[in-house]
Structure 1
Amino acid sequence: MRYKKFGNYGWDISCLSIGSWTLGGGWGNVGLKDSIDVVHAMVDGGVNHLDTALAYDSGNCEKVVAQCIKGIRDKLYITTKGGTMNLFGNIFVKCSSRDFLNECVNQSLKNLEIDYIDNYMLHWPDANTPLQETMEALKDLKREGKIRHISVSNFSKEQIIEAEKYCPVESVQLSYNMADRSNEELLRWAHDRGMGTMSYSSLGSGVLTGQYRTLPNFPKGDARNFFPYFSEPLFSKIMKLLETLDVVAEKRTAALAQIVVNWSTQTSFIDTALCGARSVQEAKENCGGFEWALSDEEMKQINDAIATYLD
């Protein structure tokens, strides 16, 4: 496993992080035993950070994570996200008021069965609550010892600057992968300011791993419907990119997922890439990609294909 300094946290964070959304039941049937085995396999592979959220599967994902980290809590930094709650399975409420954030943090602590949250993240901006109220509430939660660090996800540059008037933003989490580089400038800016940086959707919800070679039709309510990769014309463009990735992977005798996570974490501005796994085999495969690095020639080959098919 490779590690990077994570902002000003004092953490050496693994370049691969456990993305837990796949463990909460929203990505098909992943049983509790499989979830526990996946997390333990990734920790055995050197991963030391796990990301989850109260909104994932109406809080069930955090409860599953609680079972997964029993006995290994001291080996993991835990990030969870709040200010967003999934009600009745399909209604997302964005609220970052002081009262709601207190409720979210307390519920996450209960769900996760832990005494404090290493890194607490605002999941989405809330247009109806002043950022001053939100950030001061987080400062108070940190002062109380319930959370250790304060971060944001899906915020714009302008929103981060506004938030920092009231409380330091210590890290950011944004969507980033070969098929979605819309946040690249923002990630570079945040990293240059000394913030920790995380990418989510690092494998493009599985589409960049070669798992889907024809356009799938997911059932209603499946979390993968949230992402744009499974609609045209983007899906067909990604299939063209995969032709190049297949060549690189074949020469290296490597899995496509390993090529993809290497590409993103070999940049200077991504500290850790969140990746989900639904089996021990996938978990070991993801970790194995950090036993080597893409060459400059391979990086150029991939970047040229991205420019040709996706830019």
Structure 2
Amino acid sequence: MLNLKEAFEFKPIAFGGASLSGEGGGYGFGSMSETKAIELVQSAFERNYKIFDTAPIYGFGLSEERLGKAIKKFRDDVFVISKSGIDWDHKKRVAIRNDVQTTKRMLDESLKRLDDDCIDLYMVHWPDGDVDIRHTLDVLAKAQAQNKIRYIGLCNTNMEELTLAREAAKIDVVQNQFNLFENSSSELFEYFKSEAIKFMSWGTLDKGIITGSVSRSRTFDKNDVRASEAPWWNDEINLPKIKTMERVLPFLADNGHTGLEFALSFNLSRFENGDLGAVCLCGAKSSTQLLELEKALSNPVAADLIEHILNKLL
């Protein structure tokens, strides 16, 4: 099985499992049949993806189930990530819960859905203001000792929570939102480097805004979370960013680049400057989109063009 270093150094992008299960509800990006979901994961593996990220909230467990089926034949050659903390009741009302019993239960449920006896990296998905993170990490440290998980991580965290968490367990990976519009985690990069903590960016493409695939007129599948009235997805938040990209994308095109190339180049250049072992988490809905990601990696945007965009076009 791949160790953490091997997984993070093999390829600078990781496969985002939220794309696999929109019709299941929860958090997802539109409908996809199980057959196509399995084919997509297998196509990613054939393109040398090693890290496959999922979570229970993606399709209310459907993403985990499909990922588990898809990787069965090559399980030892990939690195699987799942998470605890975003829970739901029998009416699928969602809540953040990191208490001891919920964490134990969610881990066991993830193992069952993935049809696996060990998850490579298990992460706390979101902070729970009602629970001391050290209690949650005590559960994960015990699970690690029982070989239910190999590495431990935190998502959507900050220095205060991270410091507390490390009193209870070794934190191997942090996964935070990081892109052109939200990159405050760069303030933690020196700490990550000094403590040998790996970093993953989610929201790398800002759900399509940075690539230009989300425009003012874009409509979404009813099973796409972007069709919902989520507080983090509305015109007040999105329109200023879309307007920015309406300035940036023509400049990129004039210089032989796409928004996708820029999104990846922006993140990877920041990771390299911080000398981090880091990867960009990216979603894809088709083999064509996987190919587009590969092409984007092969045509990085130069540092001077990135700086021009940051200084002149934002």
Query: TM-score per shorter chain, which class?
Result: 0.7 to 0.9
Deviation at 1:245, TM superposition (A): 3.1
Asked if 2 retains the 8 angstrom alpha-carbon contact of 1:52 and 1:62, the reply is: yes
Tell me which stretches of 4 or more aligned residues in structure 1 moved more than 6 Å: none
Residue identity opposite 1:77 in structure 2: F
Identity %: 23
Secondary structure in structure 2 of the residue aligned to 1:118: strand
Take 2:159 and 2:42, find their aligned partners in 1: how far apart are those partners? 36
Q: Which runs of 5+ in 2 are unaligned?
A: 23-27
Asked if 2 retains the 8 angstrom alpha-carbon contact of 1:20 and 1:61, the reply is: yes
Rate the CA distance shift 1:70–1:9 in 2: closer, same or farther, 3 A: closer
Deviation at 1:276, TM superposition (A): 0.6
Secondary structure in structure 2 of the residue aligned to 1:104: helix
Corresponding residue of 1:48? 50
Corresponding residue of 2:198? 196
Rate the CA distance shift 1:294–1:218 in 2: closer, same or farther, 3 A: closer
Asked if 2 retains the 8 angstrom alpha-carbon contact of 1:216 and 1:230, the reply is: no
160-169 vs 222-231, which moves further? 222-231
Asked if 1 retains the 8 angstrom alpha-carbon contact of 2:261 and 2:299, the reply is: no
Rate the CA distance shift 1:17–1:227 in 2: closer, same or farther, 3 A: farther
Rate the CA distance shift 1:288–1:53 in 2: closer, same or farther, 3 A: same
**Aligned residue pair count:** 301
Take 1:227 and 1:263, find their aligned partners in 2: how far apart are those partners? 26
Rate the CA distance shift 1:132–1:93 in 2: closer, same or farther, 3 A: same
Give TM-score scaled by structure 1 length: 0.87
Take 1:227 and 1:45, find their aligned partners in 2: how far apart are those partners? 35
Residue identity opposite 2:110 in structure 1: S
Take 2:152 and 2:136, find their aligned partners in 1: how far apart are those partners? 11
Take 2:54 and 2:246, find their aligned partners in 1: how far apart are those partners? 29
Take 2:203 and 2:10, find their aligned partners in 1: how far apart are those partners? 18
Take 1:250 and 1:73, find their aligned partners in 2: how far apart are those partners? 43
Residue identity opposite 1:14 in structure 2: K
Take 1:10 and 1:65, find their aligned partners in 2: how far apart are those partners? 17
36-45 vs 70-79, which moves further? 36-45
1:285 is the counterpart of 2:289: no
Corresponding residue of 2:163? 161
2:245 to 223, 241, 250: 241
Corresponding residue of 1:64? 66
Deviation at 1:103, TM superposition (A): 1.0
67-76 vs 237-246, which moves further? 237-246
Deviation at 1:10, TM superposition (A): 7.7
Q: Which runs of 5+ in 1 are unaligned?
A: none
Secondary structure in structure 1 of the residue aligned to 2:113: helix
